[in-house]
C-alpha cells in the first residue's frame, strides 16, 4: 500500500528530473522501498539514488538530493523527506496517513491479506504421498503441515488449489505388505514362519493381522487357498493402513480434495503405457540391454534411467512420468510437489520427461523438505518405516496438540533440518510461540468484550478518528498491519510458509508490549476509539494469519 504510493512518487520524480535534464539515465531501475531496521531512518526508505549512481556517473548523494527536489507529494502523505549518508532517501509519513489506510482495512478485516494475485490459476498441490505401508511419522507430518499451509496461503492469494495425495498402491511393496500381514496371521495361528528381512516389521502389522475384520476379509471360512488369501491380504492390509493415514491427517486438520491411486494409472486407458509410447515417439525413450531407458541425461539428469525393466515390468519412474503428464492433461496450469529431501535426485528425471513432451518444466515446482529428527530428552529416536521403532505423527500430535505441532513444523524454512524434542515441547507448552500468538489474539477479543460492557459502540468500527493514533508504537503497528498483505504475497510467491509464523510472532510481540504500556479503554473517546480500530486490525492479522497456518485463534484462553 504505502510502498506502491512511494515508489510511484519516486518514479514521477525521476521523470520530472529527466525532463528538466537534471538526470539522464535511460530508464528507472526497479524501485525498492524498504522499511528501515532503524526507526531513525524514517518510515520507509529507498536506495534508488545508489542504483542510479553508476548510469548517471554521479555521486548517490547528489542524485538523491536531485530526486528529492523533484518529488511532488501528489497524494499528500509525506511529512518529511530526508537524504541520508551514502544516498538513502528516507520518507516520514503524516500521522493521518496511518489512520486513513487502517480505515481501508476495517472495511473488511477478514479480507486483509487476501488477494487475487494468482488470477485463478489452477494449481495441483501434491503432498504427503507417503507409501501406504505403515503409519505416518513426524517427517510426513512436516510435509503435511507445510503442504496444507501452503494450500491455504495460495488460496488466499487467488489461486485455485487442488490438494492431492498420491497413493503408491502398486508394485512390490504392496505384495510385501500383504505377505507380511499374512505371515503374522499364520504366526498367530501357531505356524512356523520365516519372516523375510525386507518384510514390514512394525507392530501395526501384527495388529492388522490380529483384527477381526482382517480375518473376515482375508480368511474366508472353509476355504484353504493360500494364494487367494495372500491376494486378499494385500488389499485388506493396504485399506486398513490408508484409513489409518487418512485418520491421522484428519486429526491433524489436513484434508485432500483427491486421493490419487497409482494403480489406477494402469487401468482402462493404461496411462503408463500411453506415456511410454508418447515418449518413444519423441525418441525420449530408447532400448538397451532389453530394457527401456529414459534419455534424461540429455536434459540435465546425471544419467539415463530405466523405465521398463528387462522383464517388461514398468519401474516406479514410469508411473511417475505418467502421473505428472496426466496432471497437466487434467488442466492444471502449475504443479507443486512437496517431497522429502531424500528425493531431490528425482526432480531432473521427472522434469526431463515433461520437457520431452513439450511441457515447460518450470511449471512443476518441487519443495524439498529437510528431515525431522525426533528427540526424547537428549536421546535421538530412530526413525525408519521398517524398523518398527518410528514415532508416529498421531502420537506426537496427541502429545503436544495439533496447534503446537503445526506451528512448530511451520516455523522453520523447509530448507533447514528440524529438530523436534518432544520433552522440550511438552515442558515448554506454556512458553510455546503458538500460545504467545494465540494469547495475543485472545487479548484482542477480551478488549472488545470489555469495551462492549463499558457501552462502547463497536458496530460501525470503520473510521479511525483523526489524530487518535499519535504514538510511535501505534505507527509501528500500523506499518506492520499494512505490510501484512506483502508478507502473504511473498509466502505465496516464494512458497515459503514460514514467513507467516515469523510475522505473527513479531506483531504479537509489538501488540503485547503496546498493551502493557498503554491503556486502550477509558481514554478520551477519540483515542479509545482509534485504539480499538487499531486493535481490530491487529486482531484481523492474527486471526487471518493463524488461519493460514491451520492453527486455531481462540477468543479466550
Applying the rule CB under 7 A, the residues between 148 and 177 that interact with RNA are 168, 170-173
Are the CB atoms for 388 and 184 separated by under 8 Å? no
- Beta carbon of residue 346, minimum distance to RNA (angstroms, whole number): 6
Determine which residue in the list 211, 315, 395, 552 makes contact with RNA, applying CB under 7 A.
315
- Beta carbon of residue 197, minimum distance to RNA (angstroms, whole number): 12
Spatial distance between the Cα atoms of 235 and 217, rounded to a whole number of angstroms: 9
Compare residues 215 and 371 and give the one whose CB is closer to RNA. Answer: 371
C-beta neighbour count of 399 within 10 angstroms: 14
- Beta carbon of residue 210, minimum distance to RNA (angstroms, whole number): 26
Compare residues 325 and 499 and give the one whose CB is closer to RNA. Answer: 499
Determine which residue in the list 72, 309, 330, 376 makes contact with RNA, applying CB under 7 A.
309
C-beta neighbour count of 172 within 10 angstroms: 10
* CB neighbour class for 371 (10 Å; exposed up to 12, middle 13-18, buried from 19): middle
Spatial distance between the Cα atoms of 372 and 190, rounded to a whole number of angstroms: 39
For residue 205, give every residue at least 6 positions away whose Cβ sits within 8 Å of its Cβ, in sequence order, or none. 180, 181, 184, 237
- Is residue 484 part of the contact set for RNA (CB under 7 A)? no
C-alpha distances (whole Å) from 429 to each of 400, 408, 422, 441 are: 8, 12, 11, 17
The piece of 11-19, 37-45, 116-124, 537-545 that touches RNA (CB under 7 A) is: 37-45
- Is residue 19 part of the contact set for RNA (CB under 7 A)? no
- Beta carbon of residue 315, minimum distance to RNA (angstroms, whole number): 4
195-254 residues in contact with RNA (CB under 7 A) are none
**DSSP annotation string for 267-299:** SSS-HHHHHHHHHHHTT-EEEETTEEEE-GGGG
Using a CB cutoff of 8 Å and minimum separation of 24, what contacts does 219-227 make? 219/185
- Is residue 51 part of the contact set for RNA (CB under 7 A)? yes
The piece of 12-20, 157-165, 356-364, 444-452 that touches RNA (CB under 7 A) is: 444-452
- Is residue 306 part of the contact set for RNA (CB under 7 A)? yes
- Beta carbon of residue 356, minimum distance to RNA (angstroms, whole number): 19
- Is residue 517 part of the contact set for RNA (CB under 7 A)? yes
Spatial distance between the Cα atoms of 220 and 250, rounded to a whole number of angstroms: 32
The piece of 218-226, 326-334, 390-398, 506-514 that touches RNA (CB under 7 A) is: 506-514
Are the CB atoms for 81 and 90 separated by under 8 Å? yes
E-strand stretches of 71-197: 78-84, 88-93, 122-126, 160-167
78-98 residues labelled b (16+ CB within 10 A) or e (exposed):
beebebeeebbbbbebebebb
The piece of 237-245, 328-336, 389-397, 491-499 that touches RNA (CB under 7 A) is: 491-499
Task: Tell me the sheet residues that pair with 210.
Answer: none
Task: Tell me the sheet residues that pair with 429.
Answer: none
- Is residue 47 part of the contact set for RNA (CB under 7 A)? yes
- Biggest CA–CA distance in the chain, Å, is 99
- Is residue 86 part of the contact set for RNA (CB under 7 A)? yes
- Is residue 36 part of the contact set for RNA (CB under 7 A)? yes
- Is residue 556 part of the contact set for RNA (CB under 7 A)? yes
- Beta carbon of residue 222, minimum distance to RNA (angstroms, whole number): 35
Compare residues 185 and 262 and give the one whose CB is closer to RNA. Answer: 262
- Beta carbon of residue 423, minimum distance to RNA (angstroms, whole number): 12
The piece of 28-36, 222-230, 324-332, 355-363 that touches RNA (CB under 7 A) is: 28-36
374-413 residues in contact with RNA (CB under 7 A) are 411-413
The piece of 92-100, 151-159, 177-185, 501-509 that touches RNA (CB under 7 A) is: 501-509
Determine which residue in the list 231, 261, 395, 428 makes contact with RNA, applying CB under 7 A.
428
Compare residues 231 and 315 and give the one whose CB is closer to RNA. Answer: 315
- Is residue 113 part of the contact set for RNA (CB under 7 A)? no
- Is residue 264 part of the contact set for RNA (CB under 7 A)? no
The piece of 7-15, 39-47, 68-76, 456-464 that touches RNA (CB under 7 A) is: 39-47
C-alpha dihedral (374, 379, 380, 383), degrees to nearest 10: -80
What is the distance, to the nearest Å, from the Cα of residue 105 to the centroid of all Cα atoms in its chain?
A: 25
- Is residue 85 part of the contact set for RNA (CB under 7 A)? yes
Determine which residue in the list 443, 461, 529, 534 makes contact with RNA, applying CB under 7 A.
443
Compute how many residues bind RNA; rule: CB under 7 A: 95
* Binding track over 337-366 against RNA, x by CB under 7 A: ----xxxxxx--------------------
- Beta carbon of residue 275, minimum distance to RNA (angstroms, whole number): 15
Are the CB atoms for 385 and 180 separated by under 8 Å? no
Task: Tell me the sheet residues that pair with 137.
Answer: 392
Compare residues 259 and 316 and give the one whose CB is closer to RNA. Answer: 316
- Is residue 121 part of the contact set for RNA (CB under 7 A)? no
For residue 318, give every residue at least 6 positions away whose Cβ sits within 8 Å of its Cβ, in sequence order, or none. 272, 275, 276, 307, 308
Q: Cα–Cα–Cα angle for 126, 130, 133, nearest 5°?
A: 150
Determine which residue in the list 18, 94, 512, 552 makes contact with RNA, applying CB under 7 A.
512
Helical (H) or strand (E) element with 230: helix 226-251
Determine which residue in the list 324, 406, 498, 536 makes contact with RNA, applying CB under 7 A.
498
406-425 residues in contact with RNA (CB under 7 A) are 411-413, 415-419, 424
Amino acid at each position: 500500500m504505502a510502498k506502491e504510493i512511494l515508489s510511484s512518487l519516486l518514479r514521477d520524480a525521476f521523470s520530472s528530473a529527466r525532463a528538466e535534464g537534471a538526470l539522464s539515465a535511460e530508464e528507472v531501475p526497479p524501485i525498492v522501498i524498504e522499511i528501515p531496521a532503524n526507526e531513525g531512518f524514517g518510515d520507509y526508505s529507498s536506495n534508488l539514488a545508489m542504483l542510479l549512481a553508476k548510469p548517471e556517473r554521479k555521486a548517490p548523494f547528489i542524485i538523491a538530493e536531485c530526486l528529492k527536489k523533484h518529488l511532488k507529494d501528489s497524494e499528500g502523505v509525506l511529512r518529511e523527506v530526508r537524504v541520508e549518508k551514502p544516498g538513502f532517501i528516507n520518507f516520514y509519513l503524516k500521522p493521518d496517513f496511518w489512520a486513513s489506510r487502517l480505515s481501508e482495512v476495517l472495511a473488511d478485516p477478514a479480507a486483509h491479506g487476501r488477494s487475487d494475485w494468482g488470477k485463478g490459476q489452477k494449481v495441483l498441490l501434491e503432498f504427503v504421498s507417503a507409501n501406504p505401508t505403515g503409519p505416518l511419522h513426524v517427517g510426513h507430518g512436516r510435509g503435511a503441515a507445510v503442504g496444507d499451509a501452503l494450500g491455504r496461503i495460495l488460496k488466499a492469494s487467488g489461486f485455485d488449489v487442488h490438494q492431492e495425495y498420491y497413493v503408491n498402491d502398486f508394485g512390490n511393496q504392496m505384495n510385501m505388505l500383504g505377505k507380511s500381514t499374512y505371515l503374522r496371521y499364520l504366526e498367530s495361528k501357531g505356524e512356523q514362519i520365516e519372516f523375510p528381512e525386507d518384510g514390514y516389521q512394525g507392530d501395526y502389522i501384527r495388529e492388522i493381522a490380529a483384527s477381526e475384520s482382517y480375518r473376515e476379509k482375508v480368511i474366508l471360512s472353509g476355504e484353504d487357498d493360500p494364494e487367494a488369501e495372500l491376494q486378499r491380504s494385500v488389499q485388506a492390509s493396504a485399506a486398513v493402513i490408508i484409513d489409518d493415514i487418512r485418520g491421522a491427517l484428519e486429526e491433524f486438520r489436513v484434508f485432500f480434495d483427491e486421493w490419487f491411486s497409482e494403480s489406477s494409472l494402469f487401468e482402462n486407458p493404461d496411462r503408463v503405457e500411453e506415456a511410454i509410447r508418447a515418449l518413444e515417439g519423441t525418441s525420449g525413450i530408447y532400448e538397451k540391454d532389453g530394457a527401456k531407458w529414459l534419455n534424461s541425461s540429455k536434459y540435465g539428469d546425471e544419467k539415463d534411467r530405466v523405465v521398463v525393466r528387462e522383464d517388461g515390468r514398468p519401474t516406479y519412474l514410469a508411473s511417475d512420468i505418467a502421473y505428472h503428464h496426466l496432471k497437466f492433461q487434467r488442466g492444471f496450469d502449475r504443479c507443486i510437489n512437496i517431497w522429502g529431501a531424500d528425493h531431490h535426485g528425482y526432480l531432473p528425471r521427472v522434469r526431463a520427461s515433461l520437457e520431452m513432451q513439450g511441457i515447460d518444466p518450470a511449471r512443476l515446482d518441487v519443495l524439498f523438505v529437510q528431515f525431522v529428527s525426533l528427540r526424547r530428552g537428549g536421546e535421538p529416536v530412530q526413525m525408519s518405516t521398517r524398523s518398527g521403532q518410528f514415532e508416529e505423527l498421531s502420537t506426537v500430535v496427541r502429545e503436544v496438540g495439533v496447534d503446537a505441532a503445526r506451528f512448530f513444523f511451520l516455523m522453520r524454512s523447509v530448507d533447514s533440518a528440524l529438530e523436534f524434542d518432544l520433552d522440550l515441547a511438552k515442558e515448554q507448552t506454556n512458553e510455546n510461540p503458538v500460545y504467545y500468538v494465540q494469547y495475543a489474539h485472545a487479548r484482542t477479543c477480551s478488549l472488545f468484550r470489555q469495551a462492549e460492557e463499558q457501552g462502547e459502540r463497536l458496530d460501525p468500527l470503520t473510521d479511525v478518528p483523526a489524530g487518535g493514533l499519535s504514538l510511535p508504537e501505534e505507527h509501528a503497528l500500523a506499518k506492520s498491519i499494512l505490510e501484512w498483505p506483502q508478507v502473504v504475497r511473498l509466502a505465496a510467491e516464494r512458497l515459503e510458509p514460514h514467513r507467516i509464523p515469523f510475522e505473527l510472532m513479531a506483531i504479537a510481540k509489538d501488540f503485547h508490549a503496546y498493551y502493557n504500556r498503554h491503556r486502550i479503554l477509558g481514554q478520551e473517546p477519540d483515542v479509545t476509539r482509534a485504539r480499538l480500530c487499531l486493535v481490530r486490525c491487529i486482531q484481523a492479522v492474527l486471526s487471518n494469519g493463524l488461519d493460514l497456518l491451520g492453527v486455531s485463534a481462540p477468543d479466550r484462553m
